[in-house]
Structure 1
Amino acid sequence: MKLTTARDIYKNQLEYIEQKQVLQRKLVERYQKCYVKTWISPLKCQEDEITIHQVYVTPDLVVEEKSVPETESKPLSCKTVTQSKYANRNLKHISQYRDIFQTNCMRCKKIYIVGDVGTGKSSFSKMMIHNWCKSVKEDNCDTRAQIPTVDSHNSQNESNEEYSTIDSKDNAEDERDIKEMEMFDFLFFVPLQRMSEFSSDILEMIRELYKDIVSDELIKRIFCEESDHCCIIADGLDEWTIPKQFPHPRHITYGIPNGDRVQNATIVTLSRPSAKGILNLKSSECDRKIVLRGVSKESLGRFTRKYMSIQTRIGYIPLSEEEEEEESSASDFLEKLLETKFHNLEKTPMLLQQLVWLYCRRKDIGTSISDIYSNIVNIMFGWSKNKEDEDCTDDSANVPIELEGMELPELLKNFPRCETNQRFIFILSKLSFEALTDSTSSYTLGRSKLQKCGLSQADIASLIKFGIIEEYNSLDPTFEQTYFSFIHLSYLEFFAAVYVSIRYHALHSSSQAKKRKKERTPLEDIFLKLHSTAHILEMSNLFIMLCGLSPFLVEELFCLISKTVRTDERLISNRENLFESDIEEPELIQKLLQDCCLECSDFNTAICLSDIFITSSNSYLIRQINPKEVLSLCIEHYFLWDDYTVNWITQLPHLQLACIEIDNVECGKFDKLLEALKQVVSLKQLFLYNRYNSTNIQRLSRDFLFRI
């Protein structure tokens, strides 16, 4: 009887192992077919697809590790002098997966990777998936038959082409990361945008996404018995909409999916920093928070060469042999960028990729982000099977009634195909605006909604052919068999900005000005729905591109942002601890205004903000800031302590908190600063810090008190 039981247990375990092997193989096949591909142009067409490994460059990842000071200052009376959150800040660069999954020899289970639009979050997730697939295949070479690749019909040729763009440094980094991924028997990729309004539970998402290749019983058993060996990549938290029909668990921060049922699995979540879940994230819900800052400056040339090499091979660069070396070289391209106002492009690889693509096609690379997107959309509209299709386009009919008589923004009028296809632009812009500003809807669009807005079946097919939207199977086919989304969230934001610009121009046109004099402006309509700083940050990219489309809106936009931020209860209640807390909204808001100024080259409009952060990259903002609005000030770099800055500090009548870096500051300059601070009678707290040596804080703090 015991032998029979043992045999049954062994048989059951053997079947379980075989089921896991089959699941591994099916996951690898799916990922290689659908998830590790990328494209070199903004037009997502099958012939453009390449493996992410061919163009991937190790990203610039940093994590803040706070060191504990050797000694602590005793509480001091009078004006409080203490340490800020900036003191002893230690930014550690991460170049390998081991530093992502481990810290202080402890495994990290809840990992968040945050980065602004276009920094490479999706590429990072694709590369991690690619490396896991490689780790599984290499392990299988040693233990059982190798898992076949889905591209076996031309695998040898493709492999040769793939590695022709990869240097020895890439290979060394990849081998190291592939080895690290071997600790995971399973990797489940969860595109959160597709899970919008479906579920708040990660296990439910996995069961739905992979129900065609794995049974519920096997999924439950894997996460019950072997969750330690599972990795979940959840991409696009900022694009995920929480389902309305199910209550969100109270113990989980609003905006974060529930991962309780995946037990001890490692969850890597990627998001923009402005997502509600990220802004409200509790320390207990996060083992590791890593900032993705694009690629390093040193990798900029390598990134450019990789994309240019691929485009040369597939014939995207229309140059003769004589011209090719001179006109399409990465160095020539990078030199041309120096002539533009685009700086720090290494921080936005997606934008850099689009510029490379435009340059290789001998197109103007533009002067602003909105200019680049306008140019690319113009090219997309020319992506037809033949010239007759393009010439026969008639956009004079079927324009929605509310959009009749409206005109494109001046920037888009510079592009002929945008003029020809303005009906598409009107409809897409209206749909995008509604999707972004309606907090109850997701960023996906159903076929019925597209048709209701005036798009025929042929129109929808054309938009897919242009590469502007993509079609997916619906998770719930009760109402819609398929749904659509823009190829990237930034395109939805661009079209939404176009809609605001269109409406604004119509509202202020000479023929309609008197009729609509008492109407709210489009921006006022938007801000009626933005009740907090967090809500504003979710719309950051729309506001930036709007400033490029309609620069005259900058002043009104800044006033509305200032009004909302000034009344934000979360910031008001935490202002006294602003420099010691983990609240990031004030810095992100200032960055938003800074990016708006850069987009439209406006450095004259007054900036009204309560919390100001001055660094080496934005010192010019001092001349734009309204001093009467400033309640808190942080200056991080001592070399900004020129006479103008010191005099400016004395003109802050309501300043309550100041946080100042004192690294290697000259005594004379420090004395001037102290004299300036004495004149600020409203000052309640002063934070002095040395980035590298906490003992200097005590000495300078006491010096300051004795001088008062």
Structure 2
Amino acid sequence: MIAQFKDHINKTKYTDTDNKTAAGQDEYVAKCKELIESMKKLYNKKLNHLTISPLDDYSDEKIRDVYMTPKIMAMRKDKKAFLKTEKQVNTYKEVFLTDNSVNPRIFIQGEAGSGKTTFLAKLALDWCEGVHGSIASDNSAPIFADLDALQCYEFVFHITLRNSVNQFDVYTMIEKQIMDSIYSPTDREKAYELVSEIMKHQRCLVLLDGLDEWTGPGDQHNLPTLVVDHIKCVMLISTRPWKLADGKVKHSDIDALFQLEGINEPLELSKTILSRLVDKEELEITYSAFTLYVEKQKLRELLSSPMMLSAIVCSYADGIELKGSKCDIYILLVESLFKKANSNKSTFTHPPFPLFTRTEHIQPNVENLNRLAEMAFHLLFVNERENAIVFSIKELKKFKIDEIKDFALKSGILSAQRTASALRSSSSFMFIHLSMQEFLAAYHIARNANLIDGIISIYLNRHPKAYLDISQVFIFLCGLDVSCAERLSSMTDERDASNTTTSTSRYSSHAMFNRTILEGCREANANGYSDIALKLSHFYFDNNNIIDLHKIWENNAANAIVLHVHIDDMKPLENQRISPGNDECASQITFDLHSCLELTHLELSGRCILGKVILICMAVGTVYSVREITDARCLILPVWAHWNFRSALF
């Protein structure tokens, strides 16, 4: 299919234009080739380097020298939602084509720091390299080595969406971010006309990075759009999962969806980064010690995130050891950033939270931290959404950050960029990463618990699906202050339980909220809070979460409204079996439903579920119906519950 696609491109390249004379056609072809070369120069300058340490902005390397192939899983379209499959995507062809048909709108979702931005940057650079750098795409070829698939697109436009807030037309974004960077003001009008012609007649790939950091003008624009004439353009959009789960992006808007789960060989990347940080003769010894450290502290899961990996590796190289807490890592990031701006050292006599005990560079700058955290919170929870990520000097003055602007910029916790306009030029600001802004917002909430029943409650009422939007803030809060996290989980669970959107969106939202609560519980445990009691009423169990999520179930059985247990026949639970009833057997996971008076929906699916299912009328205590699975277990349900058993054992 790729070969046929390329043949079609080669036949129509630069020739599919209307009413052009031969001379005009020659000029058009020349201008196209000139633009392609200019775009490649721009991308090689703008995208070619990657910061290998979140602790040091000046420690960067060429992407190709440190890039590790991503782990991307295909998602399949279901009636209710997109469901992750076990199929790993290893070629660009698999991203662009489904059943030999081109996907016009492709989404790649992944959590903060999973490598979405780097993947799109590497794709653009692979396009720049051209077919001469291509490796034949067969089963033995490296992952994403089929560069010939990229040559099906004559033009690849790379757009950073947070720099195009309040713009919704992709053509305008290309004008502002690409054409204005290539052409002088006197040449731009002709350049705009050229790119308009190109998007009408040439096969183009538009890379839109960071949908979750973008808002369009008004409520009617939930996605950047192409005009009708640009039908030959394909859009590849990266986003965090919550953006697709909130229901504003319609099911029909998504032609293909992929889940980016980090990198394939995290230890190999760890060694590559270590090779940049330690002497060559010490590398093997340091790397062996690092792998033992990762196993001892149970950090392997965090290493799948490139951002977390670089923080863990670089801190280890500096002699700092971590214990698997995301909060610990972000406190380390803050500590290291502050050190760049102010090298004074001092420890806390009374640290605001236990995690701050070992820090040395935060205490001398704690007032700066508190101001930045207050601004981070208000930008996310009070400001209009279009000003939440990228903001102006007005916000800096409002929170007196203008007084410490040099510190914030020198440390790197804030970054700035020039914004040109017809009247004047000015600066816009943003945090080093959205996840850093979310961590600081959580820190501010933990210091001001009254905000949960105040500003946050108002925010959640104003934006009914925003409880998904703040998932990262919630997870950080679980590691900082358990009581605040428990209160917020109760408030967000109420929103999740009252979700009145379509069944497709509702299912996605419940599943997303399950993952958020589960991640919050894990973060609390990593920080020594083993008795956290988070609220959850909709439970969706599968092979991957059954053990950890069951611990949350034990505290929430009386709150449970929905219980779905789906055990994949192809992935047995290492001899663990599910028992919907009382059970003394330690090898089995048991759901005792005696106290589940709120339960309205129950669904059990899979071959690992054992038990005798007995429906008992709770009001009179008599058996309503019996279905025999084995003679070992019982399931007790209120008769008003909707139940659906799809287990193959029946």
TM-score normalised by L of structure 1: 0.75
Give the Cα–Cα distance (whole angstroms) in 1 for the partners of residues 532 and 366 of structure 2: 32
CA contact (8 A) 1:427 1:454 kept: yes
Aligned to 2:438: 493
Match of 1:76 in 2: none
SS in 2 for 1:257: coil
Tell me, what secondary structure is at the counterpart of 1:569? Answer: coil
In 1, the alpha carbon distance for the partners of 2:484 and 2:54 equals: 28
Counterpart of 2:65 in structure 1 is: 54
Change in Cα spacing, 1:537 to 1:334, as seen in structure 2 (3 Å) is: farther
Give, in whole Å, the separation in 1 of the partners of 2:422 and 2:414.
20
Aligned to 1:423: 367
Kindly state the Cα deviation for residue 235 of structure 1 after the two structures are TM-superposed.
0.5
Alpha-carbon distance, 1:681 to partner: 1.8
Pick one of 608, 612, 624 that aligns with 2:552. 624
Does residue 1:641 correspond to 2:578, yes or no? yes
- Partner-residue secondary structure (3-state), 1:463: helix
Residue in structure 1 matched with residue 294 of structure 2 by the alignment: 337
Q: How does 1:153-164 map to 2 (within 5 A)?
A: none
Instruction: Give the residue type in structure 1 aligned to 2:601.
Output: L
Determine if contact 2:419/2:428 at 8 Å carries over to the other structure.
yes
What is the letter of the counterpart of residue 487 of structure 2? E
State the percentage of identical aligned residues: 22
How far the C-alpha of 1:584 sits from its partner, in A, is: 0.8
Q: Conserved in 2, the CA contact under 8 Å of 1:65 and 1:89?
A: yes
**Cα distance in 1, alignment partners of residues 148 and 427 from structure 2:** 39
Q: CA 1:339 to 1:621, structure 2 compared with 1: closer, same or farther past 3 Å?
A: same
Q: CA deviation at 1:407?
A: 8.1
**What is the root-mean-square deviation in Å for CA atoms of aligned residues?**
3.4
Local SS of the residue matching 2:644: strand
Deviations 1:530-576 (A, max 9, x none): 13663011111111112212233232122212222222322xx74xx
Rate the CA distance shift 1:470–1:177 in 2: closer, same or farther, 3 A: farther
Superposition pairs for residues 42-191 of structure 1, below 5 Å?
Answer: 42-43=54-55, 45=57, 47-65=58-76, 90-135=85-130, 172-173=141-142, 176-191=145-160
1:213-612 mapped onto 2 (5 Å cutoff): 213=182, 215-226=191-202, 229-244=203-218, 248=220, 254-261=221-228, 262-275=230-243, 279-296=247-264, 299-309=265-275, 311=276, 316-317=277-278, 321=281, 324-326=283-285, 328-329=286-287, 331-384=288-341, 390-391=343-344, 408-412=352-356, 414-437=358-381, 438-440=383-385, 441-456=387-402, 459-476=404-421, 478=423, 481-504=426-449, 520-522=450-452, 524-531=454-461, 534-570=465-501, 574=503, 583-601=507-525, 602-612=529-539
Report deviation, 1:652: 2.3
1:8–1:530 distance in 2 versus 1, CA, 3 Å: closer
Provide the C-alpha distance between the structure 2 equivalents of 1:546 and 1:667, rounded to a whole number of angstroms.
39
The amino acid of 1:48's aligned partner reads: S
Q: Which stretch of structure 1 is more off in the superposition, 22-31 or 439-448?
A: 439-448
1:477 & 1:189 partners in 2: Cα distance? 24
* Number of aligned positions between the proteins: 583
What is the CA–CA distance in structure 1 between the aligned matches of 2:295 and 2:340, rounded to whole Å? 30
- Counterpart amino acid of 2:164? M
Per the alignment, residue 201 of structure 1 pairs with: 169
User: Which residue type is aligned with residue 608 of structure 1?
Assistant: K
More displaced 10-residue stretch of structure 1: 358-367 or 117-126: 358-367
* More relative contact order, 1 or 2 (CA 8 Å, 6+ apart): 1
Match in the other structure for 1:685: 643
Structure 1: which amino acid aligns with 2:311? Q
In structure 2, stretches of 5+ residues that fail to align are 1-17, 184-190, 584-588, 614-627
With over 3 angstroms needed to count, the CA separation of the structure-2 counterparts of 1:32 and 1:301, relative to structure 1, is same
Give the Cα separation in 2 of the matches to 1:647 and 1:452: 52
Q: 1:455 to 1:640 in 2, by over 3 A?
A: same
Q: Provide closer, same or farther for how the CA distance between residues 239 and 609 of structure 1 changes in structure 2, counting only shifts above 3 A.
A: same
What amino acid sits opposite 1:12 in the alignment? G
Distance 1:538 1:435 in 2: 13
Cα distance in 2 for partners of 1:270, 1:411 equals 33
Could you say which residue in structure 1 is the equivalent of 2:44? 32
In 2: Cα distance, 1:288 partner to 1:7 partner: 36
Q: Distance in 2 between matches of 1:487 and 1:96?
A: 31
Counterpart CA distance in 2 for 1:181 and 1:366 is 41
For 2:362, what is the secondary structure of its paired residue? Answer: helix
Equivalent pair of 1:646/1:676 in contact (CA under 8 Å): no
Distance 1:675 1:365 in 2: 44
Bigger fraction of residues in strand: 2
**Distance change (3 Å), C-alpha of 1:491 and 1:169:** farther
Alpha-carbon distance, 1:283 to partner = 3.0
Shift of residue 463, structure 1, vs aligned partner: 2.4
- Deviation of the 1:8 alpha carbon: 7.8
Give the CA deviation at 1:292. 1.0
- Which residue in 2 is equivalent to 1:75? none
Instruction: Name the CA shift for 1:474/1:461 in 2 (closer, same or farther; >3 Å).
Output: same
Q: Deviations over 1:604-654 (max 9, x none)?
A: 344433310123434243343322221221112374414544451344233
Give the deviation of 1:476 after TM superposition. Answer: 4.0
8 Å contact kept, 1:118–1:349: yes
Whether contact under 8 Å (2:56, 2:337) holds in the other structure is: no
- Note closer, same or farther for the CA distance 1:667–1:527 as it changes in structure 2 (3 Å cut): closer
Runs of at least 5 residues in structure 1 that lack an aligned partner in the other structure: 1-5, 68-83, 140-167, 249-253, 395-405, 505-519, 690-695, 704-708
Cα separation, 1, equivalents of 2:259 and 2:68 = 16
Contact kept? 1:191, 1:234, Cα under 8 Å: yes
